[in-house]
């Protein structure tokens, strides 16, 4: 039975921290991969999971930087991972599989936002290539280990930014239409959500459930490094005398990691999947024309679109998904 895209009444909320989610949990023996788990909410996710006893493998474009940040954490290993480079993804996966037969949780956390027009070596637009295609390939390569866990989860970070655009299946790489960094970001975040929808359909018979996560509006991360003051003004965010004001509540990093950890671990989601979540609960569907951060637009959870995106992603990555 499909999981309804409607709140569960989890008892958690906007101010819940990742620490609160893991309180009382013993994760010893669990193996978890976190892409980008060395900075921002990814680092908080790694910290909380490792403190609860999990073995965490962190994928990072800069292994030396990750080593410095992660050196004091127990049961944490950093491996090189560039999601815009298919060869790097393959090497990371091979390194992981050489030491691990199973994977309990894959957290597709890394990403870029609102970058100037950049293309990878294949000519693919960088936000779509990194945020979606890179994680698509990574999940494919780790599929066997996820199946071997006999009950695993894949959590992919989307964003309320999915409201900026759906996925243009005819021109995902902006070869025929003008490039807009926010449309490109929105497309990649809609793709992240659609990926969770189709992945859950394909994975649940193997005990693999998938979720998309909006972590909340968080300013203190590297994700916002390309954001200008003008971009902030457009979003309604103001900085005056060091004080940030916003029409939408701003979360701390500790709060921003909470929904990821909830989707990865909560027993409230047993036998559920294929849904978009925020504030440690399943989100409601809201009208496509809404500009609110809250909720999920229908285009980001549409099953036919999710299936079509899956087929396109297989073509673009030249990788047919293993059964």
Residues designated as active site: 185
Cβ distance 105 to 153 under 8 Å?
yes
- At residue 34, φ and ψ (nearest 5 deg) are -130, 110
The two three-digit tokens of residue 177, written as one number: 């239409």
List, in order, residues 6 or more apart from 243 with CB less than 8 Å away: none
DSSP-assigned states of every residue in 78-114: EEE--TT-HHHHHHHHHHHHHH-S--SEEEE-----S
Say if strands 281-282 and 275-278 run parallel, antiparallel, or are unpaired. antiparallel
Cα 41 from Cα 267, distance rounded (Å): 22
- At residue 98, φ and ψ (nearest 5 deg) are -70, -20
| Closest to 171 (Cα-Cα) out of 136, 128, 130 | 128
* Positive or negative: CA dihedral 194, 199, 201, 202: positive
Cα 7 from Cα 286, distance rounded (Å): 12
Residue 153 DSSP SS3: strand
């Amino acid at each position: 039975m499909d999981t309804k895209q409607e709140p569960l009444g989890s008892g958690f909320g906007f101010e819940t921290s990742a620490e609160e989610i893991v309180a009382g949990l013993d994760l010893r023996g669990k193996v978890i991969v976190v892409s980008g788990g060395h900075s921002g909410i990814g680092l908080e996710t790694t910290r909380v999971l490792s403190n609860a006893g999990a073995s965490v493998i962190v994928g990072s474009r800069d292994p030396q930087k990750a080593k410095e940040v992660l050196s004091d954490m127990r049961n944490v290993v950093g491996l090189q991972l560039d999601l815009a480079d298919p060869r790097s993804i393959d090497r990371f996966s091979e390194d992981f599989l050489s030491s691990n037969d199973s994977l309990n949780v894959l957290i597709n956390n890394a990403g870029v936002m609102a970058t100037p027009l950049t293309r990878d070596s294949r000519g693919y637009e960088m936000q779509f290539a990194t945020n979606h295609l890179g994680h698509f390939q990574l999940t494919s390569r780790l599929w066997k280990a996820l199946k071997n866990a006999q009950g695993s989860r894949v959590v992919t970070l989307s964003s309320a930014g999915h409201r900026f655009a759906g996925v243009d299946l005819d021109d995902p790489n902006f070869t025929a239409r003008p490039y807009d960094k926010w449309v490109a970001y929105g497309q990649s975040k809609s793709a992240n959500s659609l990926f969770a929808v189709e992945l859950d359909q394909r994975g649940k018979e193997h005990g693999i459930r998938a979720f998309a996560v909006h972590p909340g509006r968080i300013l203190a991360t590297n994700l916002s490094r390309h954001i200008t003051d003008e971009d902030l003004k457009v979003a309604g965010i103001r900085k005056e005398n060091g004080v940030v004001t916003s029409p939408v509540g701003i979360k701390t990093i500790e709060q921003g990691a909470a929904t990821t950890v909830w989707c990865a671990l909560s027993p409230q989601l047993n036998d559920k999947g294929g849904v978009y979540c925020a504030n440690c609960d399943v989100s409601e569907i809201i009208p496509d024309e809404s500009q609110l951060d809250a909720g999920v637009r229908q285009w980001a959870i549409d099953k036919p679109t999710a299936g079509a995106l899956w087929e396109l992603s297989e073509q673009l990555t030249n990788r047919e998904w293993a059964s």
